[in-house]
Amino acid sequence: MLELHCHTTCSDGTLTPEALVALARARGVKALAITDHDTIAGWDRAIAAAANDLEIVPGLELSTVHRDRSLHILGFYPNRAQLEGPLQERIAGRHRRAEAMVAKLAALGYPINLSELPEDTAPGRPHIAAALVAAGYVKTPQAAFDQWLGERGPAYVPYEPLSAPEGIQLLRRCGAVPVWAHPYLFRGGTVATVLPELVAAGLMGIEVYHPHHSPSDIRHLEAYCQAYGLLITGGSDYHGPTKEPSKGNVNLNGLQVSLDLLPPLKQAAAALKR
Ligand code: AMP
Ligand code: ZN
Ligand code: FE
Ligand code: FE
């Protein structure tokens, strides 16, 4: 099976690239994309751990802002040398943003310390949520999101400016196939109104299969892909094992995405590089 959306300890996942690869192998995944937030630091470790019996699809999940809300774009098969410079700036922005959220929390009366994150980790809100749990302010990360870290929460800080069209163009310039991640999680407008804006900017695919998408969401997205001539991708958006299973939280390979989706993605990536 195919798994095209996963996070590791290089961003806000809780499994190392090596542990993720071992789990993917055990779950029967044949091709595994590493799509950390704004970083490609996990690729080499995943590729080394995968040896020859699991194909690693190099990817990332780029964080952009569209209509004043966070919008995620997956990028598959980027040219590393072209993307590394721009990503360094995005990761530096993530560090500044995390510090700004920590400062807001301190001002609200909830001081935390984020210093023990590994060097190669691009920090995100889940790290802050975990620190709030560790400090004993809330029982679960979800409660931290509900109380402070949600997009309209009192400690939220948006990503540093990068519009969705700029993100799509950046990915394409670097040879990566841009795919709108989990469209029905976007809060800045309906899929029907936002999708044409992204297609005009050069979007090439939609993440149709995602744990937060209902069967009717999936049918709508499949129809949009057909209408606009877009690629279909899917993945579990796996962030590591969780204690309590909840909606939108499936296991690695839980969506059983077909390997048939991979060759068209590879062809599109090759065409971008010609
Ligand atoms: P960031 O890129 O730092 O804004 O963090 C995004 C990540 O936070 C997502 O990939 C999810 O893992 C998690 N997340 C975002 N919104 C929520 C929410 N409302 N509740 C729980 N987790 C969330
Ligand atoms: Zn995440
Ligand atoms: Fe995302
Ligand atoms: Fe993700």
In a domain, 100, yes or no: no
Question: 80-107 and 164-173 helices cross at what angle (nearest 10)?
Answer: 150
Tens of pLDDT, residue by residue over 33-45, are 999 999 999 999 9
Q: Has residue 73 been placed in a domain?
A: yes
For residue 27, which amino acid is it?
R
- C-alpha to C-alpha distances, 190 to 66, 67, 194, 197, nearest whole angstrom: 12, 11, 6, 11
Does the CB atom of residue 39 touch ligand 1 within 6 A? no
Pocket test for ligand 1, best of 125, 132, 140, 142 (most atoms within 8 A of CB): 125
Cα distances (angstroms) measured from residue 145 to each of 69, 118, 127, 135, 250: 16, 22, 11, 15, 19
In a domain, 107, yes or no: no
Rounded distance from Cα 109 to ligand 3 centre (Å): 29
Q: Is the pLDDT of residue 93 over 80?
A: yes
Tokens of 78: 């980027």
- Is 194 part of a structural domain of the chain? yes
Ligand 1 atom at shortest distance from the alpha carbon of 94:
3
Q: Residue 245 above 90 pLDDT?
A: no
Q: Is the pLDDT of residue 181 over 90?
A: yes
Q: Kindly state whether residue 268 falls inside one of the protein's structural domains.
A: yes
pLDDT in tens, 68-80: 999 999 999 999 9
**Residue 43 belongs to domain spanning:** 2-80+162-272
Residue 234 within a domain: yes
Residue of 79, 77, 53 whose CA lies nearest to 233: 77
Give the chain's domain count. Answer: 1
For the chain, give the mean pLDDT.
Answer: 96
127 in contact with ligand 1, CB cutoff 6 A = no
Q: Which amino acid is at 144?
A: A
d(CA 178, CA 59): 10
| Residue 130 placed within a domain | no
The answer as to whether 169 is a domain residue is yes
The domain that contains 171 carries what CATH number? 3.20.20.140
